[in-house]
């Protein structure tokens, strides 16, 4: 897998608590509780290609209760920036637990700064993608983030 250059602008979404310990668009949480594609030594920002996928990702990583004070930001990744797409066929075990293969891949991608974003499949929504952002990459300042807006949860997601 090699880096390519975006020929169009991409958007992604991220959900968090604007009054939490860290800003919504921040990599600190990924060093405390690393995800599938990073280790504590490779801080990244996880986002989703679609708002609905961001909601599902937030729910699957939550406590099962209605998350309080959640807001979303829309992230704009302009054309001309570098990206890499994970080929699931080329990375056996990417969806295994523990996430050894994907963590190793993501850490190498981050440390080598091969691209500013990494497009990966979502476990919870297999046909959708998540977009991992490397804030240490020199292109990352060109990524724009909207003001946060409230998430309105449908209470049916949390039981009868």
**Is 159 a member of any domain?**
no
pTM of the model: 0.94
Ordered mean pLDDT values, 10 residues apiece, the chain (160 residues): 92 96 95 95 97 94 83 98 93 91 96 97 94 98 98 85
**Is 157 a member of any domain?**
no
**Is 81 a member of any domain?**
yes
pLDDT at site 4: 96
**Is 94 a member of any domain?**
yes
Number of domains the chain contains: 1
CA–CA separation, 76 and 69 (whole Å): 23
Cβ atoms < 10 Å from Cβ of 68 = 8
**Is 156 a member of any domain?**
no
pLDDT at site 77: 98
CA–CA separation, 20 and 135 (whole Å): 20
**Is 160 a member of any domain?**
no
The parent domain of residue 45 ranges over 4-151
pLDDT at site 158: 80
**Residues 6 or more apart from 51 whose CB is under 8 A from it?**
13, 72
Check which CATH number belongs to the domain holding 124 and give it: 3.90.175
**Is 103 a member of any domain?**
yes
**Residues 6 or more apart from 50 whose CB is under 8 A from it?**
13, 128
């Amino acid at each position: 897998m090699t880096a390519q250059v975006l020929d169009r602008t991409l958007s992604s979404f991220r959900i968090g608590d604007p009054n939490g310990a860290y800003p919504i668009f921040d990599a600190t949480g990924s060093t405390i509780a690393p995800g599938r594609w990073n280790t504590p030594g490779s801080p990244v920002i996880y986002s989703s290609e679609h708002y609905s996928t961001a909601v599902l990702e937030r729910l699957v990583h939550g406590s099962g209760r209605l998350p309080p004070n959640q807001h979303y930001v829309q992230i704009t990744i302009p054309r001309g920036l570098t990206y890499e797409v994970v080929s699931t066929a080329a990375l056996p075990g990417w969806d295994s637990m523990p996430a050894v293969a994907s963590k190793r891949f993501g850490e190498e991608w981050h440390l080598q700064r091969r691209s500013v974003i990494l497009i990966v499949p979502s476990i919870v929504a297999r046909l959708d993608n998540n977009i991992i952002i490397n804030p240490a990459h020199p292109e990352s300042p060109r990524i724009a983030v909207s003001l946060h807006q409230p998430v309105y949860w449908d209470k049916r997601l949390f039981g009868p």
